[in-house]
Amino acid sequence: MAPSLLDTFRVLASFSPGRTSLRGAPWDDYVDWAISQGLAPLAAYNLEYRLGGGGAPEWARDRLLSVYQGELNDNVMKLVNFKRAVDELEGRRIVLLGAASYAEALYPHVAFRPVPDLDLLLPATELDAFAGFLGRAEFKPVASYPRLRILSDGRTQIALHGGLLGPGFEAEDRGLLERALPVRAFGPSFFRLAAEDALLASILEQAHAGYSTPMITFVDLRELLLGAPSMQGAYSRPLDLTSVRQRSARWRLQRAVYASTRIVAELFPETAPAVGTLAHELRPATRGLLDGLVVAPLARLGRMRETRGAERLRRLLTGGRSPGSQ
């Protein structure tokens, strides 16, 4: 039987795919979808260097490989230019968030995880000072909000977050900064979230977006849940699942944790043991709502569409908060 879209996704999203043929896979559906979901660089590498082509048609391999080469150049340019801009900064505590941290800490090759923009977390009192420092490297203000500054040099956008969790969660935001781990490649002022915090922050971001997020974010969650077994770095250890449960309760993220981790378990069955440990007690009606509106559509490799209830869904998942509350 020919591989399904799910079969193709699982093989090409693996960091160590077994030798298999994907001849007859739904390439017309997969290629454009994979490109839009941030999956193309990893898929291209697997096809070319792990699977000997995998039975894919030449046009599919060529398209995916061109994206791989483009993402490699783009990621290196962004990260090297940023490193040059901040290398001399000392005495600060600035946390790399999301893709910029994961590309090096979770993925065996920097090209595998597209880095569309840079997101940084720092104390809210230091937002303007750091924005001014970045101005020396031609990063100009684009937008300003109470706890958010957005800058750009015309090629790379940088979002400076003075908190992730919104008003009333200032102590939890301080905890994120205090538990963060050094990222020496960017200098003495740069850190990344501890693994448990990184998992919850990524889930929070998915929930804030109403799950209109690329599928590569579920590969991020897979690796965090498994303890980054392909790497030997900051995230290459078992998660403290008890801490994840406790913090998700304090952040009022139990519903979002349920939805995101259930999706990951459906997509990547090897994560099921960790996901089962994280299961929170939710009312049957709440589980049914989340299964129907979030888990089932995403696990079928579909994309949720915005509806009139999208904002209500986001608030349900994030304990009544919305991105605008920051």
Cα distance between residue 218 and residue 23, in whole Å: 25
Average per-residue pLDDT for the chain = 93
Q: Which two tokens stand for residue 143?
A: 């937008």
C-beta separation of 235 from 105 below 8 A:
yes
C-beta separation of 206 from 217 below 8 A:
yes
- Where are the domains positioned within the chain? 1-86, 88-193, 199-326
Q: Which of 97-111, 179-193, 305-319 has the lowest mean pLDDT?
A: 305-319
pLDDT, residue 156, reads 95
pLDDT, residue 27, reads 97
State whether the Cα torsion 222-227-232-233 is positive or negative.
positive
C-beta separation of 251 from 172 below 8 A:
yes
Nearest Cα residue to 216 out of 4, 7, 12, 3? 12
Q: For 39-49, what is the mean pLDDT?
A: 98
100: CB partners within 8 A, 6+ apart: 78, 79, 82, 115, 118, 119
Q: For 161-166, what is the mean pLDDT?
A: 96
Cα distance between residue 221 and residue 229, in whole Å: 13
Question: To 10 degrees, the CA torsion angle through 109, 111, 117, 123?
Answer: 10
Q: For 57-62, what is the mean pLDDT?
A: 98
pLDDT, residue 317, reads 80
pLDDT, residue 311, reads 64
Cα distance between residue 177 and residue 192, in whole Å: 9
310 — pLDDT class (breaks 50, 70, 90): low
Backbone angles phi, psi at 95, to 5 degrees: -110, 125
The whole-angstrom distance between residue 71's C-alpha and the CA centroid of its chain comes to 16
Q: How many CA atoms lie within 13 A of 222 on its CB side?
A: 19
Q: For 94-121, what is the mean pLDDT?
A: 97
Q: For 159-184, what is the mean pLDDT?
A: 96
Span 88-193 CATH architecture? 2-Layer Sandwich (3.30)
Cα distance between residue 185 and residue 84, in whole Å: 11
| Order of all β-strands in the sheet with 140-145 | 140-145, 148-152, 157-161, 118-121, 94-97, 190-192, 181-182
C-beta separation of 93 from 177 below 8 A:
yes
